[in-house]
Structure formats: C-alpha cells, structure tokens
C-alpha cells in the first residue's frame, strides 16, 4: 500500500510542477493571442493565432514591430505595428511615412496601394503634432498604426500608447484553425 501512495504523491508533484511551469511561461514569457478584425490585413487575417513574446519588454521594441497592447478605449487588446518610438517625430505625406524626417518604404502596404491607385491615398496626411499636440513622442510611449489604414483604429484615433500597456511582440503566427481546433 505504501508504494501506491508514494506513486500518487510522485505523480502529484510532477503534475504540480508542470502546472507551475505552464503558468510561469504563460504569464511571464509567452502568451497566445487571436487576431480579431481586419485592421492588420493583409499581414494578419481575422482569427489568426499568434504567439506573443513578453521578453520584448526587456529587449526593447523596434520600428515596425507588431505588438499586442491593452486598448486605451476599451477592455480589449489591439494588435498594431509600431511606427514611432520615444524621441521620434512621425509624419505621413502623400502616402509616404516619414520618421525623424527620413522617408520609409512600407512594403506591407503594397497590396493596399495597388488596390487604391485610382481611388486615392491609403493613409491620409498627418503629423504627430496634429494628432497628439506633441512634436516628438515622449519617453514611455509609442505611436502605432494598423496595416489596413483605411479601417484601422490606431494612434490616429486614440493617440499614443503607453509602453506599460504593451503585452508583447508578435513572434509567431499559427495558421487559422476552425472551431474544432483543426488547421483550416
């Protein structure tokens, strides 16, 4: 009888340790995220599954990283692309992005620009100051835009995103799955 009890205690410890490791990984290192909406099309589609790295809080963020953050205007989480970092100026002129006065090509917008050649701009003109009343992005904040600029609710709408509200950086996309969890 003693061996049976030892076996149960041993399995209980193993399961307990596995659960603790899973909780630590889930809460401190990686988190799953499901894309909702069309604001990041064509890069990310509705219902894409992502793995979000929480390491980026310590590693830092770069221009054009795709991040998940707590939405400033709801209880949801949003996914957008970082365009401006602390100390940057941001401007959009004639569908060209300027960061600190330097023009940047945005290859992830190619699909939208090709579709809208005859219809107009993909991204309307703006300056950081027009949107936020700040000449440069202050320390502790980022400026974000969705890739589907015509429908994206982003920093043009709600302003700068506090870095403390960033959940993490998208590091892996897992293809869409159906309700049964099978890859579509």
> Which residues are catalytically annotated?
39, 80
C-alpha closest to that of 32 among 80, 79, 83: 79
- Tell me whether the omega of the peptide bond preceding residue 132 falls within 30 degrees of 0, making it cis: no
Identify whether the C-beta of residue 73 lies closer than 8 Å to the C-beta of residue 181. no
For residue 137, the cross-strand partners are none
Phi/psi of residue 168, nearest 5 degrees: 170, -175
Q: Are strands 102-104 and 96-99 parallel, antiparallel or unpaired?
A: antiparallel
Phi/psi of residue 38, nearest 5 degrees: -115, 10
**Sheet of 141-145: strands edge to edge?**
30-34, 49-53, 166-174, 66-70, 77-84, 141-145, 161-162
């Amino acid at each position: 009888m003693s061996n049976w009890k030892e076996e149960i205690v041993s399995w209980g410890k193993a399961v307990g340790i596995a659960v603790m490791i899973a909780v630590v990984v889930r809460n401190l290192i990686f988190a799953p995220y499901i894309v909702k909406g069309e604001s990041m099309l064509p890069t990310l589609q509705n219902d894409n599954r992502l793995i979000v790295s929480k390491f980026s809080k310590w590693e830092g963020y770069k221009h054009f990283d795709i991040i998940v953050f707590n939405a400033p205007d709801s209880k949801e989480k949003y996914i957008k692309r970082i365009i401006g970092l602390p100390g940057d100026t941001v401007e959009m002129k004639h569908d060209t992005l300027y960061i600190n006065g330097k023009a940047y090509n945005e290859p992830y917008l190619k699909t939208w620009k090709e579709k809208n050649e005859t219809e107009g701009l993909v991204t309307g003109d703006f300056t950081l100051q027009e949107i936020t009343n700040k000449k440069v992005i202050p320390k502790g904040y980022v400026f974000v835009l969705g890739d589907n600029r015509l429908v994206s609710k982003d920093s043009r709408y709600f302003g700068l995103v506090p870095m403390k509200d960033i959940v993490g950086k998208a590091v892996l996309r897992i293809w869409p799955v159906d309700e049964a969890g099978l890859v579509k």
